[in-house]
Amino acid sequence: MNTVNSSTGFSPFQLKTGHSPRFVPPFSDVSLVDDTSDETAHAAKLFTRLETDVMEAQDNLFLAKVNQAALTNHLRSEEISYAVGDKVLLSTFHRQQDYMQQGDNRVAKFMVCYDEPYNILHTYPEFSAYILDLPASTNIFPTFHASLLKPWCKNNASLFPSCQHSQPGPIITDDGAEEWEVESVIDHRPRGRGF
């Protein structure tokens, strides 16, 4: 009650009554004579002091709020805004459990970080939320926060020719016919410890 608040710069007692409480009683005798001549001037002075203290406390609170916002936001980066029709990659962070349950030999650290590019159907920039065009097979609600999305950039074959995947040609059988489908894997080369 008597502690000075670091944000307002005043104690709650001072904001309510206009003065800080006394810790030591006064040494002089309190006069019991009713002096009504200065009461109105004293009351006006008290209300002026209360009003000034409250306004100063409000200014101090506003300054503290601005400082807190500046300290919180100085490390935040600008959020990327997307438009309807843009292609984005979707984070797979919340779907690691589903990935692990699809097989016994699956490890979460080998899971891809972002899923294939999806089209944006609707945007809510005031909430940083976007609705994606997901396939019907996935049982996922299609609205995602912007922190789970990443802009999709198509590979530029002229700048990065090593990233271009070439399509393998057809298999030519003994009789000279082209075969495009693999029927079975006959053999494989073990790597590492035989895996």
Run of H or E including 35: none
At the top level of CATH, which class does the domain 82-153 belong to? mainly beta
Is 164 exposed, middle or buried (CB count within 10 Å of its CB: 0-12, 13-18, 19+)? exposed
Global pTM value: 0.52
pLDDT in tens, 21-67: 777 776 766 555 555 668 888 888 888 999 999 999 999 999 999 99
pLDDT in tens, 101-143: 887 788 878 888 998 899 999 999 898 999 999 988 778 899 9
Q: What are phi and psi of 124, to 5 degrees?
A: -130, 80
Q: For the chain, what are the domain ranges?
A: 1-18+46-76, 82-153
Q: Give the bridge partners for 172, in sequence order.
A: 178
pLDDT in tens, 67-77: 999 998 888 87
Torsional class of 128: left (φ above 0), alpha (ψ -120 to 50), beta (otherwise):
left
